[in-house]
Structure 1
């Protein structure tokens, strides 16, 4: 399980909305309400995969074990590509630019390139349970 990347409370102000296929619109992460200038920390141990600007926003992504990648925006990173980070380590500071009505941190998660809800790692979603299809 990951640690939350910003201090409590952690209101999810916009949920994950997975697209029906990879090219369709969706919201490929969650928006967590917080305060401008909030410290952003690594949710788990990993290696900085990317720290830079994408289009017009500063983005940070961290590669974790098992093909998992976390991403955060808009974050002014204190780390650089290739840096090893540990769970809870400060990796940057939230800057304005994602939510229009309040400061928020966009948190994304991918497993082997597929977007999934970060709540799978943050403890907000119960794991799926396969049930038998036939009576015994």
Structure 2
């Protein structure tokens, strides 16, 4: 997930945990915090990141957005990745900004709609089709 941030902006840990990676990957700084409940949260591109092994609490500053490194698709966004059990998960789950999906049962299959078409000449060079939809049922009954 890419977050809109300003170059040099402080990056805070989304949860309590331990810095398990702090270094460079290819050409950018990366920091990973393994949370107390086993999520690996990674941010890039960063600079001034805390060293590996540092214990952090939720909201602690862990790094700064690297002001010299651009990120794909934008100039100063911050990439936030989260893994749990080896699989990537939506980072919004960690901050309570995403509600779980709720699947509702499908309503009874509705009867088809009837469409009638009226043709009207607009000019000698163009023609317009007007579609009138007529419902055969009331879904609230």
Normalised to the residue count of structure 2, the TM-score between the two structures is 0.66
Runs of at least 5 residues in structure 1 that lack an aligned partner in the other structure: 1-29
SS at match of 1:119: helix
Residue 55 of structure 2 is aligned with which of 84, 103, 124? 84
Deviations 1:21-74 (A, max 9, x none): xxxxxxxxx100111110111111100010000111110000012221100000
Q: Is the 8 A contact 1:51 1:77 kept in 2?
A: no
Residue 45 of structure 1 is aligned with which of 16, 39, 63? 16
Runs of at least 5 residues in structure 2 that lack an aligned partner in the other structure: 106-141
User: What is the aligned partner in structure 2 of residue 5 from structure 1?
Assistant: none
Normalised to the residue count of structure 1, the TM-score between the two structures is 0.69
Q: How many residues align?
A: 104
Q: Which moves more between the two structures, 86-95 or 100-109? A: 100-109
SS at match of 1:103: coil
Residue 80 of structure 2 is aligned with which of 107, 111, 114? 107
In structure 2, distance between residues paired with 1:124 and 1:90: 20
- In the TM superposition, structure 1's runs of 4+ consecutive aligned residues that sit over 6 Å from their partners are none
In proportion to residue count, which structure has more strand? 2
In structure 1, distance between residues paired with 2:93 and 2:16: 17
Q: Is the 8 A contact 1:109 1:118 kept in 2?
A: yes
1:127: Cα distance to partner?
Answer: 1.2
The aligned runs of 1:7-22 (5 Å cut-off) are none
